[in-house]
Amino acid sequence: MSVAVLIPWRGGDPDRETALAWVVDRYRDCFPEWDLRICDAPDGPWSKAAAINPAVAESDAEVIVVADADVWCDGVERAVYAVVCGSAWAMPHLQVRRLSPTGTEAVFAGADWEGQESERLHDGVWGGGIVVGRRDVFLSAPLDPRFTNWGQEDVSWSLALYCLHGPGWRGRAPLLHLWHTPEPRLDRQKGSNEGWQLRLRYGRARKDPAKMRALIEEAAEEESWALIG
């Protein structure tokens, strides 16, 4: 089964650019047969959806890995296998290990990340970091492009996937998060008031497929990419 790795991206931050180069090398070394694509976001406020959704539509891969440019998980192959074996979508990690600047520099220099200094270890949110799924699943439950800048798009995406396609498979491997300057946000939980209010709408629709599809279609009507599925 064909696999594509789609990495949402916008350049300009040296820390993120170094992280991306390291992540790309890992994918090419570990999975040279996978189609790896860097998906540039259009001009304007950052939108993960605007970078990823067109690439999903254009891909001919049966399984899609949506992976942030600053993370790595040794369990990604198991998540792909879970989808190949029947899961609609999957996440390879349970916890996120955020490396410190010192730990990140050591990894870039070739050190094993397992022994490096971390800023914190926490449970990863559903929909964040790395998400694997069938292409048709991601087309029918896409990321919402109305989320811009930092926050809330990942959790909302997971609510849409769960509502329309059932619970995802989840692995237990740690997710490595490479350090970079944090994005501006209201606080650790909220990116913006607008994003938070949209996230609450996803929460209210999470048990009602008709409401969830209406929410997705509402977003699609405002964007240039086509809703498929």
Residue 172 main-chain phi, psi, to 5 deg: -120, 5
Q: Which domain holds residue 169?
A: 3-221
**209 in any annotated domain:** yes
How many structural domains comprise the chain?
Answer: 1
**193 in any annotated domain:** yes
Q: Specify the 3-state DSSP secondary structure of 226.
A: coil
CATH of residue 203's domain is 3.90.550.10
**228 in any annotated domain:** no
Distance, CA of 83 to CA of 81 (rounded, Å): 5
**177 in any annotated domain:** yes
**179 in any annotated domain:** yes
**151 in any annotated domain:** yes
CA-based radius of gyration for the chain: 17
Partner residues linked to 63 by β-bridges:
3, 134
**76 in any annotated domain:** yes
Which amino acid is it at 41? A
- 225 has pLDDT over 90: no
Confidence (pLDDT) at 119? 74
**38 in any annotated domain:** yes
Q: What does the pLDDT look like over 93-149, one tens digit per residue?
A: 999 999 999 999 999 999 988 878 777 788 889 999 999 999 999 999 999 999 998
Q: Rounded to a whole number, what is the distance in angstroms from the first to the last CA of the chain?
A: 20
What percent of the chain has a predicted confidence (pLDDT) above 70?
A: 93
Instruction: Of 64-68, 170-174, 180-184, give the lowest mean pLDDT range.
Output: 180-184
Q: What does the pLDDT look like over 39-91, one tens digit per residue?
A: 999 999 999 999 999 999 999 999 999 999 999 999 999 999 999 999 999 99
